Structure 1
Amino acid sequence: METGCRFTKLLVSVLLLWSYLVTPISSLSVTVNDVECVYEYVLYEGDTVSGNYVVVDHDIFWSSDHPGIDFTVTSPAGNTVQTQKGTSGDKFEFKAPRSGMYKFCFHNPYSTPETVSFNIHVGHIPNEHDLAKDEHLDPINVKIAELREALETVTLEQKYLKARDARHRHTNESTRKRVIYYTIGEYLLLAGVSALQVIYIRRLFSKSVAYNRV
């Protein structure tokens, strides 16, 4: 009977621990014309905030690659936690200096709109004050935390690679269109030059015939 109660207590404690640890990954797509910001609330000081972003349509018509965008993370106190300049995508990770609302801003200094795939995860591992007291909970807490963070790391990496793959596909499609447009333009230019040459030669021979008759 005592063993059954201890097992039930352990099961409830594990479920409680899991509810603390489960923090879903936030994923969204942002179109950046000038400055666009995303907000994420961090409940606990010292939580690990990690994520990544990829500029999907990272090209302009006359060039194979856009110069990039700027990324800035601001704490609830207004301090800059992290900043990255002129990049088409990157990963980030930091320890939250305090709880509160964090601001993640993308700045596009160019007139071409950019679509950004953004993923973020706030990892929280509860301390001993958040859990029921039991000698079996310490190893379970460690194992669940390790598995949870490993799973989130893999999931974030998959989302990052998927967004990069989408960007490469978009770049390849854009390059293919540019090649087609350049080829059509080249043919039209050659056709125009050939027509001008024909007109010039006809006029030249017409003037020569008129001169000979005189």
Structure 2
Amino acid sequence: MEGSAKGLMLIGLLLVSFVRKIASLSVTVNDVECLYEYVLYEGDTVSGNFVVVDHDIFWGADHPGLDLIVTSPGGNTVHTSKGTSGDKFEFKAPRSGMYKFCFHNPYSTPETVSFNIHVGHIPNEHNIAKDEHLDPINVKIAELREALESVTLEQKYLKARDVRHRHTNESTRRRVVLYTVAEYLALAAASALQVVYIRKLFSKSVAYNRV
């Protein structure tokens, strides 16, 4: 019983030590904005997503999107997304070190980006306890953790896209209302000018007949 309790405690500690939280943040991109994430092990899976949330440009159209360029510690490009309002990415880290995620905004309008990233690590014989019983348990725990994190990432991505769609719908609704009000005002002004013009014509006609 004591050995079994120690085994469960060890498994619990291993599970806690393997857990890597998903980094979630919001950043405003004016021109170029770079974020950094450190990868501990070569071959780790780096996954994530981003969604551009448009600012409220009342008379403008939706933003055509941003570019994302991911570079490795050696300066090599490992992922690129061009002109998109939202995208998902996943790649194997070619080496350990600091990875750079740069958003490029080619337009003058600042944009807010919802960004989520996760570095997944599944242990192998080089970095787990040397125990024939714990080795497969470690691997299964890591695989389960990664599956759960993948689901969480997808949920965050869908939630951010839903926020963007609601924002776009609300902005479109306000634009339609304003266009409609402006159209009615223009119609009323045109009608008033027509009335004034017709009255002037009649007044001139009456004055001419009197002469």
TM-score, structure 1 length as denominator?
0.91
Q: CA deviation at 1:25?
A: 0.2
Gaps of 5+ in 1: none
Contact 2:51 2:87 in 1 (8 A): yes
Per the alignment, residue 25 of structure 1 pairs with 22
Gaps of 5+ in 2: none
Distance 1:41 1:154 in 2: 22
SS state at 2:70 partner: strand
Per the alignment, residue 171 of structure 2 pairs with 174
Is the counterpart of residue 192 in structure 1 residue 189 in structure 2? yes
Distance 2:132 2:71 in 1: 40
Q: CA deviation at 1:191?
A: 1.1
Distance 2:147 2:172 in 1: 37
Per the alignment, residue 208 of structure 1 pairs with 205
CA deviation string 1:150-179 (max 9, x = no partner):
100010011001101101110111011101
2:157 alignment partner, one of 148, 157, 160:
160
Is the counterpart of residue 4 in structure 1 residue 2 in structure 2? yes
The total of aligned residue pairs comes to 211
Distance 2:108 2:94 in 1: 35
Distance 1:12 1:136 in 2: 14
Contact 1:72 1:106 in 2 (8 A): yes
AA partner of residue 87 (structure 2): D
Contact 1:42 1:100 in 2 (8 A): yes
Per the alignment, residue 55 of structure 1 pairs with 52
TM-score, structure 2 length as denominator?
0.93
Distance 1:39 1:102 in 2: 6
2:31 alignment partner, one of 24, 30, 34:
34
AA partner of residue 114 (structure 1): E
- Report the RMSD for the aligned CA atoms in angstroms: 1.8
Per the alignment, residue 84 of structure 2 pairs with 87
